[in-house]
Chain A
């Protein structure tokens, strides 16, 4: 199945094909989770803050569906 992912902050720096403004589409096996997807992209779990699917906040264990739009944000800091 096909999903669309957009990586925020510096998460997409080392991911080939990732457009910082649009993200990119990719094929994943049926019943994949967000966690599987992040692992496939070789991003360390420690760098993952919040994740949303189609605008709804989800846990990384959430299973993906065909056509999902996933946004992944880094942990935040600041003021």
Chain B
């Protein structure tokens, strides 16, 4: 249990034990509570007072499956509020194996600069001059770093977009095959890393200093039950990945199309998960692939071109939407190329796709022109004036064109569920302290009666309570570092008690289901407190007007959750 703190102003590095106030925390709980405590809420997100906090989940590094999840936190330059961006790959497990609870990057160099942070197998951290890597795209960067420092390292890095400090910039991290294709995409944290003059973090793999469990026996049985339940329910994700969602969400009319003018995409059959899997199979790619350490689901894939050559990994539901239906593009090869470019340039695929959609909606280019989207991304990498506007996300594009149809909350774009067709997502998008974020409280299944949900998806009834419960639960899930897709493990015999017992086994003291709920409340309170101090009010917990005023075909509904109901989401 140790913190590694890097002061980028002086270049000094401190390694110390975790302060008592943060004991028992990991992942989002740690990043959000620390930021609320230690970062001045009114600070410049790209200034010296902001901190970039990188923390594996509390259960990362244990034998529990699907726990290589990393939380990266800071004040967001995109939203102006608190941010936790979550990513898989291998780094979370690698840090935990070195006994590192968090890396804290503070200050900023007075005269810019480009640095690499390297953490070796003994857990020693060193700041290296990275001038030779300045301006590099992530794939070339990782190849060069691995050549210099060895294959057995995970690399977490930014591309040109992060160096330009653009607010849709991601932080990319390497997958199980060492490619920088896993993204902490949301909230522009790549810009924060860029502002600190930090190009990459290299973490040695194979550490032997994992925090010991206080009670290893208590851990074993629940971990086994949890893994069994995950394995038994992962067939669809293994076969099609998250893209399994494309066809059904379109079928229910909730797939935002052409900047959310429609809820269904006419050319959907060209971009479904089923189509993607057939293309990959025919070309000799991988439909099933392990992207993250300790994963037993294998929801990742490797998309290849007609010659069987690697294009990108992993092509996901959200990107197929943002670079597909949202911009009217039905060419999966172009979607895959755009996905690769975002990873390589270091951009959030969701914010960037929606930024392109807003530009197209404003008349800059016609919907469906995939090649125009490719050109826009290349402009981001080149740092042209328009490229910087795209790289700053949809709200910046809306301001540039004086265009009002911008589907963002707190400056961050919605994702692939239209809130007019799934009212529960309206609550999550509007009220999450993160800005619009589907992962903050995914209440899609609860809204679809055909899938066992009990709510009427076009009605406000029950939506606030459902979203609240989901958001509180996710805050705790993101703290322990369990993958979103592995939540099927909560359905194992024993349910939540299994997870609580594993936490207790690490903590060395009881941890009840009440403690789990209290943890979620503690985190949401800290995040909302930070946002209040930063200047947010209940007026920021609203969707843009388009969702209240423009009926969405084919169901022709608008968002019906009232402001008063929105304000009851966090009534604590």
* A20 to B244 CA separation, bound complex (whole angstroms): 12
Contacts of A74 in B (CB 8 A): 236, 244, 248
Q: Known contacts A49-B451, A77-B445, A78-B484: does B235 contact A10 (CB below 8 Å)? A: yes
B488 within 8 A of A: yes
Contacts of A21 in B (CB 8 A): 269, 274-275, 278
Question: Could you mark each residue 50-79 of chain A with 1 if its beta carbon is under 8 Å from any beta carbon of chain B, else 0?
Answer: 111000010000000000000101111111
B438 in contact with A73 (CB, 8 Å): no
Q: Known contacts A75-B445, A78-B245, A78-B317: does B274 contact A8 (CB below 8 Å)? A: yes
Q: Known contacts A9-B236, A78-B242, A78-B442: does B278 contact A49 (CB below 8 Å)? A: no
B275 in contact with A8 (CB, 8 Å): no
Contacts of B442 in A (CB 8 A): 78-79
B102 to chain A, nearest CB (A): 24
* A44 to B103 CA separation, bound complex (whole angstroms): 49
B448 within 8 A of A: yes
* A10 to B235 CA separation, bound complex (whole angstroms): 7
- B: contact size bracket: 35 or more
Contacts of A76 in B (CB 8 A): 244-245, 248-249, 444-445, 448, 451
Question: Could you mark each residue 90-112 of chain B with 1 if its beta carbon is under 8 Å from any beta carbon of chain A, else 0?
Answer: 00000000000000000000000
* A8 to B343 CA separation, bound complex (whole angstroms): 29
* A9 to B451 CA separation, bound complex (whole angstroms): 14
Give the secondary structure class of B's interface: helix
Question: Could you mark each residue 15-59 of chain A with 1 if its beta carbon is under 8 Å from any beta carbon of chain B, else 0?
Answer: 000001100000000000000000000000000011110000100
A73 in contact with B317 (CB, 8 Å): no
B232 to chain A, nearest CB (A): 13
B485 in contact with A73 (CB, 8 Å): no
Contacts of B484 in A (CB 8 A): 78-79
A50 in contact with B488 (CB, 8 Å): no
B485 in contact with A50 (CB, 8 Å): no
Contacts of A49 in B (CB 8 A): 248, 448, 450-451
Contacts of A71 in B (CB 8 A): 247, 251
A78 to chain B, nearest CB (A): 6
Q: Known contacts A9-B244, A20-B278: does B439 contact A79 (CB below 8 Å)? A: yes
B252 within 8 A of A: yes
Contacts of B245 in A (CB 8 A): 76, 78
B208 to chain A, nearest CB (A): 33
Question: Could you mark each residue 236-272 of chain B with 1 if its beta carbon is under 8 Å from any beta carbon of chain A, else 0?
Answer: 1101101011011101100000000000000001001
B277 within 8 A of A: yes
* A76 to B444 CA separation, bound complex (whole angstroms): 8
Contacts of B233 in A (CB 8 A): 77
B483's nearest neighbour on chain A, judged by CB, is: A79
Which of B236, B442, B448, B452: most chain A CB closer than 10 A?
B236
A57 in contact with B252 (CB, 8 Å): yes
* A79 to B239 CA separation, bound complex (whole angstroms): 17
Contacts of A13 in B (CB 8 A): 239
Contacts of A10 in B (CB 8 A): 235-236, 239-240
B251 in contact with A73 (CB, 8 Å): yes
A73 to chain B, nearest CB (A): 4
B267 to chain A, nearest CB (A): 14
B456 to chain A, nearest CB (A): 14
Contacts of B247 in A (CB 8 A): 8, 71, 73
Question: Could you mark each residue 142-154 of chain B with 1 if its beta carbon is under 8 Å from any beta carbon of chain A, else 0?
Answer: 0000000000000
Q: List 25 A-B contacts (CB under 8 A).
A: A8-B248, A8-B274, A9-B239, A9-B240, A9-B244, A10-B236, A10-B239, A10-B240, A20-B277, A21-B274, A21-B278, A49-B448, A50-B451, A71-B251, A73-B247, A73-B248, A74-B236, A76-B248, A76-B249, A76-B444, A76-B451, A78-B237, A78-B442, A78-B484, A79-B485
Binding site for B on A (CB under 8 A): 8-10, 13, 20-21, 49-52, 57, 71, 73-79
Given contact pairs A10-B235, A71-B247, A76-B244, a sample of 17 additional A-B residue pairs in the complex whose CB atoms are under 8 Å apart: A9-B236, A10-B240, A21-B269, A21-B278, A49-B450, A50-B248, A51-B450, A71-B251, A75-B445, A75-B451, A76-B444, A76-B445, A77-B236, A77-B487, A78-B245, A79-B442, A79-B484
User: Which 5 A-B residue pairings sit nearest by Cβ, starting from the closest?
Assistant: A50-B450, A73-B248, A79-B484, A79-B442, A75-B451
